[in-house]
Structure 1
């Protein structure tokens, strides 16, 4: 076997077969409950009620999260249909070598977020141990907390889902208690929770504030909407199902129901917290009143929230990306360790005030990749993919020395537009990235480098689960597509 071919055919990056899709609809929804409980969601609520009533902040949040949930589901079809991860499919719009550059940007961002979230979880864990046993060493807590998360993720996607099933109900219960306690604090100060506004705005300023809340919610999940195939490839879906909606039921329920509900509730808690004590962080607000066991329970939620967010939203995508870069010598579990080491060694918590804006800007720039993926997968290839060639060093995705110039030009232009229009970065990046890539690829790049699925748009040759196919990639340069003949029964449920 040639080295280059082995590099492209890392076992952890091969297409996931139908029988190996382990996450059910409920499991993915629970993963979203855990992922959506993050400090940034509280911040959106706190910032929103400074200009708008909480009612309008909620409306904007629902619009934004349903919108981003749709984008996540749309891109997630890459994983559902073909069992492909994010860095592997990126070989189509960026090339077999070019895929590494945008992928590494996302992988590093995910690793830094892991470090930041682990720091917050470790400080909460340290506070719990301090209350119970008088122990006070946040760095020891950091090492323990990081190790536990890395082991959980390295055990595989099923272990990640099982933890989410455990953590989500606890998070929901504690969140309801937090809301009730914060509302009581606000009311005790004579502030009507759903009508209070710190500095009311009207007219055009109100419209702008409303749009900022919408795009803040969308922009925060831009990175997940790009690399969701790394998770969605494990979600159960029926074979022989021609309906896009029915085939993507698992991601639809999670991304367009569980995410909006959870995110909106977290934004509400952040808003109520700001109304009560002028601080969007509910932990800071409730620490003034909570002591002993109550404070311990509150801090436990912070630990679980950081854990559940990290394993699904940061470690799984980062590990998949690092495994793609390293090839067979870097299996998934090794990618998990690399992500953990990178996110810890750089100590991102010490650069919090600088790093958070940078990471949010990176998220906006990555929104152009979502547009490029959409244009490549839906508009150009019509969901048909020559999957075997994604794993061939001399296949159609090699392009010019492994680089698709159309993808990089579109990413640069789309990312630049998103940067300069940061308040609306996700939508701007998506539209500019998608439009630029479509024009460049269709009328220039793919004229030079022919794409089999575009020349011969055959469902039987280039679709996956819709026609009952598992993509089997051989180790001897000969890949095959195993296709079951059936009546369309959903045999995986």
Structure 2
């Protein structure tokens, strides 16, 4: 294998001057990302056992907790300009990183397929209503191809699309909520008090926790690889204060995301109250017609488009590019993700894939715990970034594998599966605690890390000390030194 296989140009650190997404832009991206079938499903399932008020409270709790964790992992991208699969070389090794990364990439590709199918049904409904064209599979292929092309153009094209889609989504979401609420009232059902099968006592507590875990399990996948997106988010130089450095992230993760997620869960709940189906495409076809129906369904199409390119295609493409090295650029990774999303035939798995992927989300929550333990508790945000791109550097560990990371992931993921109703919390906690103990008292005693041996802020922090990491991508020089004592960096 070529010695520079870790140095794919699309995976190099993003410098400060290339961070183009501000607080408003990041918030708009979140507006588009949060409008997805899973959010509607959470609301529809929730009101089967709880009142809408309790479903909303559970969603807010989950969204705020997850938004904070997203901002924590996202600091890896903000501070050092690193993507998820590149930083994963630290807790999993230069080879070991591929195992959990590919799982995440596969999950993202599957979600791309599911959301594309969902959007294509709305597109097909629009065309059938307006011009009499009725072929959902043709809509699926066209819709998927448009998303792949948009994402392959790069992050700025994604932000521009979000700027266009977000205001439309906000306006039409409100229209959708009131339309479905009116339909429910016409049937004598008050959306905030109606419950299909009320539960009390311990069953009510369990139902409440399930709503929280469903919200956290679904977005837990993005929580892990938030650095792949946050590395493009603007941040002030020489800012040591964590909150000030991440203020653009906070605007999206802790304000925009909880608000939009909660509203989408409400729409799914109201849809279920109105027509016993959380799919708003079905509900809207029964409650509207003509131009109004076309406009409402167009919101579904825009929402899935915006969600897919940001939450699914970008993370999957970054991961596949990392696995393939320089021979697979970002745009090729996008194409691979698109192909996988079609091969899994989401139209055949549509009824069960949400539950399957939510379980996988719980398994991946262990990675979130491992990342936070590695970045904050062990390395204390200091990273020997150049060695992340060296095949024989300090992150090579044992034949490219950090067994502390892999063992912790197995323990955390296994615990999440066993305790499925508490999957995210259990997976996160077991993963974090296991890695902290195994890493600190076993693995890093055996494989010394430069940033732990010499905990220097000036050497190993990023933009908070005014540094842009520079990685040489030309011919590498052979060396017998396992730890790079003088990381290559450029001060801004």
- What range is the shorter-chain TM-score in? over 0.9
Q: Are 1:126 and 2:124 an aligned pair?
A: yes
User: Contact 2:75–2:227 at 8 Å: present in 1 too?
Assistant: yes
How far, CA to CA, are the matches of 1:4 and 1:225 in structure 2? Answer: 32
Residues 294-333 of structure 1 mapped to structure 2, 5 A cutoff = 294-333=292-331
1:269 alignment partner in structure 2: 267
SS in 1 for 2:394: coil
Partner secondary structure for residue 96 of structure 2: coil
Q: What is aligned with 2:363? A: 365
8 Å Cα contact 1:88/1:390 also seen in 2: yes
Question: Which sits farther off after the overlay, 196-205 or 408-417?
Answer: 196-205
In the TM superposition, 1:2-21 aligns within 5 A as 3-21=1-19
Query: 2: distance between equivalents of 1:198 and 1:356?
Result: 21
For 1:53 and 1:121, locate their aligned partners in 2 and report how far apart those are by CA, in whole Å.
29
Question: 1:109 is matched with which residue?
Answer: 107
Deviation at 1:121? Answer: 1.3
Q: Using the TM superposition, give the Cα deviation of residue 408 of structure 1 relative to its aligned residue in structure 2, in angstroms.
A: 0.5
1:284 aligns with 2:292: no
Query: Could you tell me how far apart the structure 1 residues matched to 2:122 and 2:388 are?
Result: 44
Which residue of 354, 366, 369 corresponds with 1:356? 354
Aligned to 2:482: none
Deviates more, 1:182-191 or 1:63-72: 182-191
CA apart distance, 1:127:
1.8
User: Does 2:216 align with 1:218?
Assistant: yes
Which structure 2 residue ranges, 5 or more long, are not aligned? Answer: 478-486
Cα deviation for residue 362 of structure 1 reads 1.1
Paired residues of 1:370 and 1:430 also in contact (CA < 8 A):
yes
The secondary structure found in structure 2 opposite 1:6 is coil
Runs of 4+ in 1 over 6 A off after TM superposition: none
Unaligned runs of 5+ in 1: 485-493
| Matching of residue 86 in structure 1 with residue 101 in structure 2 | no
Deviation sequence 1:221-278 (CA, Å, 0-9, x none): 0000000100000000000001100000111110111010001001111111222222
1:177-192 equivalent positions in 2, closer than 5 A:
177-192=175-190
The separation in 2 between residues aligned to 1:383 and 1:75, in whole angstroms, is 11
Match of 2:476 in 1: 477
Residue-by-residue CA offset, 1:133-156 (whole Å, 9 max, x unaligned): 222222222221111101110010
| Aligned equivalent of 1:491 | none
Aligned to 2:36: 38
Indicate the SS of the match to 1:288: helix
Corresponding residue of 1:487: none
After superposition, give the CA deviation of every residue in 1:139-178 in whole Å (9 maximum; x if it has no partner).
Answer: 2222211111011100100100110111111111111011
Alignment match of 2:430 (pick from 429, 432, 436)? 432
Provide TM-score, normalisation by structure 2. Answer: 0.96
In structure 2, what is the equivalent of residue 414 of structure 1? 412
Contact preservation (8 Å) 1:45, 1:269? yes
Q: Conserved in 1, the CA contact under 8 Å of 2:217 and 2:359?
A: no
The equivalent of 1:68 in structure 2 is 66
The match for 1:200 is 198
Structure 1 SS opposite 2:150: helix
1:4·1:393 contact (CA, 8 Å) conserved in 2?
no
Corresponding residue number in structure 2 for 1:99: 97
In the alignment, what sits opposite 2:232? 234
How far apart are residue 75 of structure 1 and its match? 0.4
Point out the more displaced range, 24-33 or 137-146.
137-146
Deviations 1:264-315 (A, max 9, x none): 0011111112222222222212211211111111211111111011000000
TM-score by length of 1: 0.96
- Alpha-carbon offset, residue 43 of structure 1: 1.2
Q: Does structure 1 conserve the Cα–Cα contact (< 8 Å) formed by 2:37 and 2:118?
A: no
Q: What is the match of residue 209 of structure 1? A: 207
Deviation at 1:376, TM superposition (A): 0.4
Deviation at 1:26, TM superposition (A): 0.6
Greater CA drift, 135-144 or 453-462: 135-144
| Deviation for aligned residue 1:348 | 2.5
Cα distance in 2 for residues equivalent to 1:274 and 1:125: 21
Shift of 1:345: 2.4
Alignment-derived partner of residue 396 in structure 1: 394
Report if the CA contact (8 A) 1:271-1:280 is conserved.
Answer: yes
Give RMSD over aligned pairs. Answer: 1.2
Conserved? CA contact 1:5–1:391, under 8 Å: no
Residue in 2 aligned with 1:489?
none
State the 1:124 CA deviation: 1.5
Number of aligned pairs?
A: 482
- Measured in 1, the distance between the counterparts of 2:7 and 2:151 equals 22
